[in-house]
Amino acid sequence: MTVLILTSEEDVTADMVVVHLNAAGVPVVRLDPADLTGSVALSGEFVHGAFRGHLSSAGRLVSLDSLRSVWVRRPGAAAARAPEPSAWLTEEASQALYGMVRGSEARWMNHPDAARRARHKPWQLRLAQRSGLPVPATLITTFPQAARDFAERYPDLVVKPVSGAHPQDPPRAVPTTRVPPGADFAAVAYGPTLLQRRIAKRADIRLTAVGDRLLAARKATCADGDPEVVDVRFTPSTAPWCPADVPPRLAESVRTYLREAELAYGAFDFAEDADGTWWFLECNQSGQFGFVEVDTGQPIARTIAQWLAGAPSRQGARPADRCGSAVP
Amino acid sequence: MKPFALNYARPAAELEFATPYAYDPGLQLNVLLDGRIAARDHALLRELGTTTSTAGSKTHFDD
């Protein structure tokens, strides 16, 4: 039984997992959907009430009914590198590939439907609340007056993108940024704006969840750092990530979140305040983990490999079953 | 007509750089010039930042 990994060639983080799968003797087929019609090919036949499908990549051929799991890591858009790419061809190739793989009994990390839903930050915030995770007061609005009222109630605010995406024309980054006192909120009318009460944090927490296993890491806030810079991704720091224990009640809430979201993998970001409370910021359903493992030595890649090496789901399994723990 | 959040945008960091490894389709892994597996060299990964939470920002927003 084979593990199918959908990701780009340069994804060296995926390599960290492939190394463990190789060591365990688990067959792997790794391909980038962007290479469809080039080095990647597919075929599926629906005949006499049965389905037989195959994928090939770089000389490897795999039957879809021999897949034990599918890891959707950093795949390119289907057929993006075809000789004559087009939006139409990408849609055709995407439907053919994902449509056929969906028909297999493989377990997904993460299922495309769950992944698409889990990317919505407003949905994340609501699910975190329902799961019992502390969520900072947040407003998403296009009403300037609502923003002004919110700023009166919570004078110390940060602004961040609703989607987490960064504008590309020209390429810019929109880090989580402190809103200065007296800010003019008129421009809130020109795009949904996410304002959130700033957590005076003493550390950033990255909690990586793989099935039922939770691996948390903590990075202390630099004591003499710039108080205006609140986004750890854009903060130059030499402080390493260190392993951290997950408070039991918070672990229970995180598992509730994952179960409700039907996610087998999630990278949670929290801000730890002076009282030691972990405030939920977001859950990246395909968040990076290599930088944490490199600093902490936590066996995240090995844990992912073990999850992927688990048995495929039984036919007709419900989504929640597909996302359960199956570490052999 | 610029959305409020874009008042706080900054130029994106240049992430395009030559990595000292290349993908080997046979191994399905990235390999260093001396034949070693890049993913086993954690010091190199730390130095390059290719596994960090901003590494995929250009095309993916699940960091």
Angstrom distance (rounded) from CA A60 to CA A62:
7
- pLDDT at position A238: 72
- pLDDT at position A316: 39
ipTM score of the complex? 0.88
For A47-82, letters b (16+ CB in 10 Å) and e give eeeeeebbbebeebebebbebbbbbbbbbbbbbbbb
From chain A, pick out residues whose CB is under 8 angstroms from the CB of B2.
187, 190
Asked if the Cβ–Cβ distance from A174 to B21 is below 8 Å, we say: no
Residue B49 has pLDDT above 90, yes or no: no
Matching residue, tokens 């130029």: B11
Q: Which of A5, A121, A288, A296 to mutate to test the interface with B (most CBs of B within 10 A)?
A: A288
pLDDT digits (tens, 9 = 90+) for A133-188: 999 999 999 999 999 999 999 999 999 999 988 888 788 888 899 999 999 999 99
Domain A137-197 grouped into CATH 3.30.1490.20: yes
Q: Are A101 and A113 in contact, with CB atoms under 8 Å apart?
A: no
Same fold, A137-197 and A201-322: no
Average pLDDT over residues B35-49: 92
Q: Are A118 and A263 in contact, with CB atoms under 8 Å apart?
A: yes
Say which residue, A109 or B52, is predicted with more confidence: A109
- pLDDT at position B55: 45
Domain boundaries, given as residue ranges, for chain A: 2-104, 137-197, 201-322
Asked if the Cβ–Cβ distance from A290 to B1 is below 8 Å, we say: no
Asked if the Cβ–Cβ distance from B45 to A172 is below 8 Å, we say: no
- pLDDT at position A167: 85
- pLDDT at position A324: 38
Domain boundaries, given as residue ranges, for chain B: 21-55
Residue-wise pLDDT tens for chain A (328 aa)?
A: 999 999 999 999 999 999 999 999 999 999 999 999 999 999 999 999 999 999 999 999 999 999 999 999 999 999 999 999 999 999 999 999 999 999 999 999 999 999 999 999 999 999 999 999 999 999 999 999 999 999 999 999 999 999 988 888 788 888 899 999 999 999 999 999 999 999 999 999 999 999 999 999 999 987 766 666 677 677 666 789 999 999 999 999 999 999 999 999 999 999 999 999 999 999 999 999 999 999 999 999 999 999 999 977 654 344 443 433 333 3
From the list B2, B26, B52, the residue facing A190 with the nearest CB is B2
Q: Which of A12, A19, A281 to mutate to test the interface with B (most CBs of B within 10 A)?
A: A12
Band of residue B63 on the pLDDT scale cut at 50, 70, 90:
low
Angstrom distance (rounded) from CA B21 to CA B29:
10
Residue A36 pairs in a beta bridge with A40
CATH of domain A201-322: 3.30.470.20
